[in-house]
Amino acid sequence: MRAELIRIEDPLKEKEKMELASRIIRCGGTVIFPTETVYGLGANGLDPEAAYNIYQAKGRPSDNPLILHIADMEMLGLVARNLGEKALKLAEVFWPGPLTMVFDKQDIVPAETTGGLSTVAVRMPGNEVARELIRLSDTPIAAPSANISGRPSITMWEDAVEEMGERVDAILLSEPSEVGLESTIVDMTEDIPVILRPGKIGLSELEAVVGPVRVDKAVLGQGDAPKAPGMKYTHYSPNASVYVIKGEGMVERILEEYQKYREEDPVIFAMEKHRQHYEGLKLYSLGATSLEAAKVLFSYLRKADREGHGIVLMENVGEDEVGLAVMNRAEKAAGGKLIYANSKGKMHKRNGVNRI
């Protein structure tokens, strides 16, 4: 194991351990740390070589920019320009929290961090371990999700150790991620803010604070090249084949597909209220709400692999805003294998997704 494993219970009390982690960041190393969205793979976001180490560790394409994590508003001014009133309002309401905003970048931010873009994505995480690490490191921390590029995001330290133990300098062992989905990304460089990636904070919550907000067409699966470069890559893929099943007759269709794929040892990801329909079949419960489903989705994709399931049959978890964010991830994991229950064959969605 190359990574130093550092268990953190209380970041404000365990000063020595937090100091050790921040020293690694200051020296250009890589540290996996918890955030409330998913675990992040962090390095000094103002140091091009450190940022390069992140791409190396993840096997991430270098045109896919990193999010800069900050601990306070002073750091925002250091990395971003032309903030505007709407952004400040959103920051006041949603930071620290699972919202990322895209701004024009300051010169201090290297092209390596932004994948060559003139804009920079910034977030102030709600997780205390994350904020304390940034504060002690005394620099914005660039951190994409801590998984190997293309794999499901990581929401528990156990998965970080298993997947990344040989690839990073340290891993902070802390609580499972509270939200379980990556942040909502909003582009603030246009007059009307644009959602580039859906997350826990939805359209209506944003609009309640700043008025009209648009949703990028790529998020809606409508053609355009995505403005968040990372959204164009195949994502969240476990080894198992994932099928997402929607629409009237969903349960019956899942039962049918389960029998069809029986030899590949399928597992059903189902809402708790449907458990009774699947008696005797392999099932992971997504809980009672879309928020509960968000929290477990990524760890379930990994668990399905660990337990040797060849097929995942995933229910639609709902059409509310969090539900849509969960299904955005599930459909990417499915790589377009979307089944509308009341139609016959499978829908293969064309949304410009590349496999990498």
What is the binding site for Mg ion (CB under 5 A)?
Answer: 145
CB of 63 to ligand AMP, least distance (A): 9
Identity of the residue, 53 or 285, whose beta carbon is nearer to ligand AMP in the bound complex: 53
Q: What is the DSSP letter of 200?
A: S
Spatial separation of the C-alpha atoms in residues 107 and 141, rounded to whole Å: 16
Identity of the residue, 6 or 196, whose beta carbon is nearer to ligand AMP in the bound complex: 196
Nearest to 49 by CA among 142, 170, 130, 120: 142
CB of 283 to Mg ion, least distance (A): 27
For 51, residues 6+ apart whose C-beta sits below 8 A from its C-beta are 43, 44, 45, 66, 110, 112, 113, 142
For 332, residues 6+ apart whose C-beta sits below 8 A from its C-beta are 234, 235, 236, 353
Residue nearest to ligand AMP (CB): 230
CB of 97 to ligand AMP, least distance (A): 15
Identity of the residue, 198 or 323, whose beta carbon is nearer to ligand AMP in the bound complex: 198
CB of 243 to ligand AMP, least distance (A): 24
Spatial separation of the C-alpha atoms in residues 257 and 54, rounded to whole Å: 40
Identity of the residue, 231 or 271, whose beta carbon is nearer to Mg ion in the bound complex: 231
For 138, residues 6+ apart whose C-beta sits below 8 A from its C-beta are 22, 26
The entry of ligand AMP, Mg ion, none near residue 119 (CB within 5 to 8 angstroms by kind) is ligand AMP
Identity of the residue, 168 or 271, whose beta carbon is nearer to ligand AMP in the bound complex: 168
Residues forming the site for ligand AMP (CB under 6 A) = 64-65, 67, 102, 114, 117, 119-121, 144-145, 182, 185, 196-197, 227-231
Is 195 in a helix, a strand, or coil?
A: strand
The entry of ligand AMP, Mg ion, none near residue 293 (CB within 5 to 8 angstroms by kind) is none
